[in-house]
Amino acid sequence: MSEIIIERLQKNFGNTEAVRDLSISIEKGELVSLLGPSGCGKTTLLRMVAGFESPTSGKIFLRERNLVEVPPQKRNIGIVFQDYAIFPTMNVFNNVAYGLKIKKFDKQQIASLVAEYLELVGLTGYEKRMPAQLSGGQQQRVALARALVIKPDVLLLDEPLSNLDAALRLNIRKEIRKIQQALGITTIFVTHDQEEALSISDKVFVMRQGELMQGGAPEVIYRRPNNDFVAGFIGKSNIMYGKVLDYTDGVTSVEVNDKTFHVKTDEVIAKGTEVWVSLRPQYIRLNEQSTDTYDNTFHGTINYIEYLGGLVKGEILMSNGLTLEFEQPIRGNSAPDLQKSQEVSGIFSSDDLVVGRNIRRMD
């Protein structure tokens, strides 16, 4: 039985559908991410699980108990907000102890649990410090300890890393994942950062305009997106639109701007069907000899290029008017011999492409 079941959840603000007929399930001990652009409904969904918003319709089950009519304080849910929301007039000890005092734990229990969870987040010795004396990362750890010390059934994280600098975000997200796995606590993590979601999640649920676009393991979401929005939103991807010309022996031929691409598919798509095609920039190989495993070739001109240390990125204008983004790793100490306005040839395998009929468009 799933730990959390969200069943046909709907949230309207006037005529606006913030969350639209959404259903997901989360297993015990999983960390799942709600991922999507700003305004997609992910935070509204989190707030309904927490009890801060009431759904227009639908159900939220936690261990078979419908939470819709249960007030927030009786749901036994821990939450870390984007701005941490720690109390500025309380020291670290009292911030972490706050929920325990509300639950009327005795002083000895409070002291023991606060010490345990401050050690868990690496803040032993910080008990008497005030929030103003802490860095952003330390404040985030205090908020995490406060959410966990009450031993909640579920932990909710609402973009908890967004106020941290890039290097600190990497370190803190690793710590969050390690702590979550050590405690085995079911966790819902809200983010708009694709890398963040892919790196720490057991499952990712991609949302757009209140709808669930796709849910599943990170590698499935990345490698087998089920519509063009997911393909373009999760990582970099060249998204093209065309029509099916033919299907032969597991390979679909698609015409895009008078250029034919060959895509390996398990599904037969009828001739003339409008489809989207996705190609990751890193799958393009420039100025290499074609082999039997590469079923697609092209020629074009580099119209933009940039060097990023161990990587070179750019754009190629193909002879049929399409523009493809590419990424090439730099191996050794010599940069690849690529320049702006240079004519190049490229190859990529039919395995490197994804094709689908579910067109949602990025715009």
pLDDT at 319: 85
Count CA atoms closer than 13 A to 187's CA, side-chain side.
28
Report pTM.
0.91
Neighbours of 204 (CB within 10 A): 26
Any idea what the CATH number is for the domain that residue 337 is in?
A: 2.40.50.100
Q: Counting every residue, how long is the chain?
A: 363
Examine the domain organization and report whether 204 and 332 are in the same domain: no
Specify if 231 maps to a domain.
no
What pLDDT digit, counting tens, does each position of 261-289 carry? 999 998 899 999 999 999 999 999 998 76
> How many distinct structural domains can be found in the chain?
2
Query: Whole-number mean pLDDT of the chain?
Result: 93
Mean pLDDT of the region 11-39: 97
Whole-angstrom distance, CA of residue 262 vs CA of residue 254: 6
Between 92-102 and 107-120, two packed helices, what is the crossing angle to 10 degrees? Answer: 130
Whether 348 is covered by a domain: the verdict is yes
Give me the pLDDT at residue 317, please. Answer: 96
Do 241 and 290 lie in one domain? The reply is: yes
- Asked if pLDDT for residue 335 goes beyond 80, the answer is no
Q: Are residues 241 and 206 in the same domain?
A: no
Q: Which of 66-80, 183-197, 209-223, 329-343 shows the lowest per-residue confidence on average (mean pLDDT)?
A: 329-343
- Same-domain check for residues 211 and 323: no
Q: Is residue 363 situated within a structural domain?
A: no
Pick from 52, 57, 86, 87: which is nearest to 70 by CA?
52
| Whether pLDDT at 347 is above 80 | yes
**51 token code pair:** 């009890």
pLDDT-based confidence at 293, cuts 50/70/90? low
Domain boundary among 177, 194, 226: 226
Is residue 361 situated within a structural domain?
no
Tell me the pLDDT tens digit for each residue of 96-107: 999 999 999 999
In a domain, 152, yes or no: yes
Are both 169 and 249 inside the same structural domain?
A: no
| Whether 181 and 297 share a structural domain | no
User: What per-residue confidence (pLDDT) applies to 362?
Assistant: 56
Other CB atoms within a 10 A radius of the CB of residue 60 amount to 21
Residue 292 has pLDDT above 60, yes or no: no
Residues 257 and 209 in one domain: no
Distances (CA, A) of 296 to 244, 249, 254, 288: 16, 16, 11, 12
Q: What is the pLDDT of residue 1?
A: 64
Among the candidates 226, 247, 278, a domain finishes at 226
Residue type, 286: L
pLDDT tops 90 at residue 249: no
**Alpha-carbon distance 6 to 57, whole Å?**
11
Burial class, 129, CB count within 10 angstroms (exposed 0-12 / middle 13-18 / buried 19+): middle
Whether the CB-CB separation of 22 and 8 falls below 8 Å is answered with yes
Could you tell me the pLDDT band of residue 294, with boundaries at 50, 70 and 90?
Answer: low
Cβ atoms of residues 281 and 313 within 8 Å: yes
Contact call for residues 201 and 33 (beta carbons, < 8 A): yes
**Residue 179 counted as domain residue:** yes
Task: Specify if 45 maps to a domain.
Answer: yes
Structure-token pair, residue 26: 């989360």
CA 335 to centroid of chain Cα atoms? 32
Closest CA to 129 of 119, 120, 142: 142
Residue 362 lies in a domain: no
258 by Cβ neighbours in 10 Å (0-12 / 13-18 / 19+) ranks as exposed
Taken in order 120, 126, 127, 131, the sign of the CA dihedral is negative
- Could you tell me if 167 and 118 lie in one domain? yes
Within 14-91, residue ranges assigned H as helices are: 42-50
In single-letter form, the type of residue at position 134 comes to L
pLDDT tens string 65-97: 999 999 999 999 999 988 888 999 999 999 999
CA–CA dist 32, 190 (Å, integer) = 9
Helix, strand, coil percentages in the chain from 3-state DSSP, rounded to 5: 25, 35, 40
Residue 320: which of 276, 272, 269, 261 has the closest Cα? 261
Domain end position, chosen among 171, 206, 226: 226
Report the C-alpha gap between 119 and 116 in whole angstroms.
5
* 307 and 260 fall within a common domain: yes
Give the residue with greater pLDDT, 358 vs 189: 189
Name which residue leads in pLDDT, 323 or 358: 323
Range of the structural domain that residue 118 is part of: 1-226
pLDDT band at 197 (very low <50, low <70, confident <90, very high): very high
Burial class (CB in 10 A: 0-12, 13-18, 19+), 293: exposed
Asked if 194 and 325 sit in the same domain, the reply is: no
174 and 269 fall within a common domain = no
| Residues 13 and 66 reside in one and the same domain | yes
pLDDT attached to residue 211: 97
3-class SS of residue 300: strand
Transcribe 51-88 into DSSP letters. Answer: TSS--SEEEEEETTEE-TTS-GGGS-EEEE-TT----T
- Structure tokens of 78? 């821990």
The candidate with the shortest Cα–Cα distance to 353, out of 195, 224, 219, is: 224
CATH number at residue 48: 3.40.50.300
